Amino acid sequence: KALIESVFRENPDDLEFLGKFVDKTLIGNLEMTRDNRFERVSYTEAVEILQKSGKKWEFPVSWGTDLQSEHERFLTEEHFKKPVMLTAYPKEIKAFYMFQNDDGKTVGAMDVLVPGIGEIIGGSQREHRLDRLEARLVADGMHLEDYAWYLDLNRYGAVPHAGFGLGFERAVMFCTGMSNIRDVIPFPRSPGQAHF
């Protein structure tokens, strides 16, 4: 929301141009995103919504499968008609270092989905409890010796912490109304053109 507000404040002429020539719904979409609370649903609730939608999916939906772009866009564009924060993903489809929720089935992970794009932010609380971290590594078939350095970080003073990643190009796409990510890459690359 702060990013969108700064775009309105710092670049009103650019927004007017993009809203006129690129995407006529741009300004309304950005205002809606800025001015409204994002819908918050768990992964489990999202799967139930998708299964009850009556739509025929290219990638069938079941609990424990990763959501695809078609699912994310349905949630944001058709069902909720606004950005969505998905939480509590199944631990089997997320990385070993994500915080294990008390239910034993999900982890403290989240994604922010926006209309027209899908996932724009992904993040999680990191597992700081050494016993749970070791158990997860073993359950996933990984060798503790290979992760000794990481386990030591948690053995000697870890505190609850989290992190997230914002897809820069996706954020630019959303704020400009561009439909192709190649049009917003700040440093374009193409095969055969990376001269060293």
Could you tell me which residues come within 8 angstroms of residue 102 by beta carbon, excluding any fewer than 6 positions away? none
**Percentage of the chain surpassing pLDDT 70?**
98
98 assigned to some structural domain: yes
pLDDT at 8 over 80: yes
Mean pLDDT of 23-28: 95
180 — pLDDT class (breaks 50, 70, 90): very high
Look up the domain containing 112 and give its range. 39-178
Residues 155 and 64 in one domain: yes
pLDDT in tens, 128-178: 999 999 999 999 999 999 999 999 998 987 899 999 999 999 999 999 999
Helix axis angle for 168-176 and 26-35, nearest 10°, is 120
190 assigned to some structural domain: no
Residues 9 and 94 in one domain: no
pLDDT at 196 over 70: no
pLDDT score of 188: 77
Range from 13-22, 51-60, 104-113, 184-193 carrying the lowest mean pLDDT? 184-193
Give the CATH number of the domain where residue 123 resides: 3.30.930.10
Residues 145 and 91 in one domain: yes
- Tokens describing residue 133: 């971290």
* Number of compact structural domains in the chain: 2
Residues 10 and 44 in one domain: no
pLDDT score of 169: 96
State pTM to two decimals.
0.89
Residues 57 and 125 in one domain: yes
Residues 79 and 138 in one domain: yes
pLDDT in tens, 80-98: 999 999 999 999 999 999 9
170 assigned to some structural domain: yes
Phi and psi, residue 40, nearest 5°:
-120, 120
What is the enclosing helix (H) or strand (E) of 86? strand 84-90
pLDDT score of 190: 76
pLDDT score of 156: 87
Three-state DSSP at 8 gives helix
Residues 27 and 94 in one domain: no
Residues 32 and 43 in one domain: no
5 assigned to some structural domain: yes
Integer CA distances (angstroms), 147 to 94, 153, 190, in order: 17, 10, 36
